[in-house]
Structure formats: C-alpha cells, structure tokens
Structure 1
C-alpha cells in the first residue's frame, strides 16, 4: 500500500516508517523537523530510511494547509497514520498555542485530506493522558474521558471527537490509539528514561516525582509499532453491536474505534529506576519531589478490546526494554 505517515522524524513515527518499508509498503513521510528537541536526533532517525527506494519525504508542517493538501493530491495515499503532534505534557504550560496549531488545526487538515481524497483508513495517535482524573484501574476505553488534566490531553481528546464526527459525516474509517508511556531506542530526550540515563552517567541527581511511588504502564516502542500496523490493516466498519441507547464512550454505530495500546503490567517508578541502574551498572542519586501538577498517580492499560478486535497484546518487559534502550543510548552517544 501507499501510506502517508506524519511525524516520521519522531520517535514512534520513525519506527513505524521502517517497519512499513520492511514489509514492502510505500511510505510518504511528512515532518517539519521542529526544534522542540535536538533536531540532529531527528535527522539521525530519518537517515536510517531516507534513501529507501519506497520512501518519499515531505518537509512540511501539519498546520500548513496548502502543504498538507498538496501531500494528499500529489501522492494519493491509500491509508494515513497520523503521529505528528506537539508532544510533551508540561511544555503546554509554556507554549499552549503550538499545541492547538499542531494537534488541533493540523489534525483538521489531515481529516480534510482524508475526506477529499478517498482515504481507506485513518489511524491516529491519542494518549492515555485523556483518562485525566479517572481513578478506576485499569483504564478502559469504556470509561469517560471528559476530565483531562492538561492541555496536551485536551488536544488529543479533541482529535478523538473530531475523527468521530468525520467518520459520521463523511464515512472515513478511523481508529484512535491511546498510547501508554512509550519508551525505547531513539526516544525523546525530554522523557524520563532519557533524562535519567543522561543524569546518572554524568553523576548528577535525577528528579523523582511523587517520591517514585506512582506506577505506569511503560510500553516498549516495538509493541506500540506492532499495534499501530496491525490496527492499520483492520479497517473498521459500522459497529453491529451498538444498541443506540447506552452512552458508552467506546461504542458507536459508525466506522470508528478507540483502542488502548499499553503494557498490562504497570511498574512502579522506583522499580523502573532500579532496572536502569542495573543496566548502567551505576546507582542513581535521587532528588525526591512531590507529584507534579497535571500528573496522575498511576496508569494501567486495559487492552482487552485490542486483544479481541485486533488480536494483539503488548508483551515486552521493562527489563528487556530498558536494556535495549541503554545499549542504543551508549552506542548512539559514543559515536
């Protein structure tokens, strides 16, 4: 297939592009190479597949409507994976406008492209952050997500609602994927594992919020990628199970689905750090701090819908995943 993948210079997007190319798909990648973090890392990710004969790169911003329109009209993708977004939960407090520009306006441009160019299936990244103030564990797609705690989460909730409306109005089959705390090789420098590794190797203290007692469904990037591509291959249809009565957030009568993708075994942050210490062969100096504003104490993924409808369950343990990240980190920064 010919697939438009946005965010191919990003952490997850670069992994997805490689996997699609390996199986023989044509990939049209779109990325603006923003300077939110090290652009050289983004260029290094791209260099792994930029010269592949089935890869075409477009340097553009999702908020640039003519550029996105041109990508659709020129390349006529059959399916779309939208992974480009302004990431980072806390950066939204400093620069809220860029989140709306990229995550809301940019996503509208993707929806319009799908609408006017007969795209077979749109798969887009959402986040476990949409669960916000929910405290019932594990987080299920059947729970309400009406109380986001950050602007980032609010923009992703908006994406889900926008996609649902386009699926209803224009029949665009759409699937949203709520990612849970993704980590692994080629990750983002603003994420905990990256920050911890850099600090420990430099002999500097690491900031451990909530005194390390919160738990996360840490999900290895390869598990995320496998879930994205398996979902892409299963185009949703009208839901025969919908009864038209109960206001179930996970159910509708249109070609639209929402799935969690996360490891079912949440891990306490202190254990995550302990695994990292073992992989690095060094002890961390920890600065214990209270829970940050906008953070939730715990996340835990219910992936039963993904298992039943897609036939997939994330499986990589933190012991294996963190070891893989450390090997990559030491190799990448040694060169």
Structure 2
C-alpha cells in the first residue's frame, strides 16, 4: 500500500487551511498532499508552481460557491491579504452575509468535496495531465497491491490488497470479475465473498459486514492459491486490467527456487499487446531482482481505462 492514505490528504488540506494559508513552504511540508498532486514524496517530480496550479485547478473543478470560498480560506485568492484563518473567514462571512462559524461549516464541507476530487483525479491536472474516467462501483480504488509468489517457475499464490474510499453511502459490496478457477479467500473478518460463474470466468461479490459509508476508507484483501502447484504451466506474467481508476498500484513477485533471466514492468497495454517487450521505451522498463529476497517490484499511478499494468519475465532457455 502507498505510504499516504486518504486520511493523510484530508489532514494536509486542513493544515494548509490554517494560519497563513497556502505558501510554497507550507505545501512542501505536506507530503501526502504533494504526492496526490503528482509531486512525489519530496516535491522532486514537479516544481512548486505546477503543484499550486494543480491545487487551484482541483478547487476550480468544484461548484462556484465552493471554489470561491476555498480560494479565500486557503489564501489562494490574489485579493486576499488576511494572514489568519479567522480573518479570512470573517471576510468571507461579510461577503456572504453569514457568521464566521457558518463559514467554517461551509469550508469544512467544501474541503471534503475537494478531497474527493483529488482522490479521483476528476479535474484537469494543469498544465498537463490526464482526466481519469468516472468510477462504476461507488468508490475510489485509492491503492492496489498485488504480491505474488512463484515456486519452481510455477504460480504458488497471490495476495491482492485494495484500499477503497467510498463515494456514496450504503455501498454493500465490491464486484470483481476473474478468470481464475479457484475462489478468492478473504483475509480478515470484515468481508464475505459470493461467487457466480460466468461464460468465461467468475464474478465475485465481496460483501462488507456493514454498508460502506461515504468518505470512509476500507481495506479489502484476499488470497488466490494455485490448486495444482506442480502444473506444467510456467508463470511468465503478473498483471491486472484496471477498469476502475486507481491512483497508486504496486506489484511484487518473489521467486522461490529458479530466478528469471530478465524481467520488465509494463503499463497501459491492451490484452493483445501485453506484456510488451523489454525494449519498448514507451510502455516498459527493465526491472532488477533484489539480491536479499529474490523479488521484483514495480510501482504505477493513475491506472485506468481497462488497460493492463504489471510485470513479465523470461526464464533461462536451458531450463525449459
């Protein structure tokens, strides 16, 4: 799972609202917010001016009333000169004809809506970027982590972890479609799975023990085991098609026994294009096996569109 979670982004927004509001230094000190704006964990990936533009762009993607108010309370409105949150709220209350406490209620609610915009990516990421399509299951897949174990060149088991941020109240279950014949085994007491066979695979409904609530984060994890670890098929790929937009993705594969000749990560490929080739500079990158645990790892962000992301490898020819 990523280092920063939705709750961390919320806390950073609330911090940025306080005191003098936005300054480059105060934003740089908020690693979760910097990360969700595309700046990495240390602002090295994008300059501060771009991160500020993206924050303003996300605010402008809200309704006009929310956008105007948040620009004021974050001290991002050029006409705002107040250096304290109380003074900025007083000025906004004077403009709106309401008290400062009423302004506080409004800007707190607007920050929750801004949080959803940032987590989903439903705003133009100025000066350039992508707009992620809408979600279908009523939640944001904030993060997905797939850990796979390969023993003697064959699939042993995989553990998939999903961090979900609910967009609506009373979402009862999460639906996933898989081709793997064995049913997934939920990890933890909070989920139950109901499976239905399709013409070419299985549909699994993961029911939470209570209906999910808007603005809350939920962790779903399950294990997929190979019923025949001695099967003749040698595993050469681990990947997922991301129909639900996902902000952060990690794959890791651990090899127990023989190690592959070489491995690569790939992203944004169709079912027919995957797994690509190691020499494609646009969709793949070479991976190095770690010496201490024989594991390869690949990280991605903003996966979407039903395209495949993952890792592939080739075994030494003399082993086959």
Q: TM-score range by the shorter chain?
A: under 0.3
Which structure has the larger Rg?
Answer: 2
Higher RCO structure, 1 or 2 (CA under 8 Å, sep 6+) = 1
Higher helix proportion (structure 1 or 2): 1
Give the alignment's TM-score, normalised by structure 2: 0.27
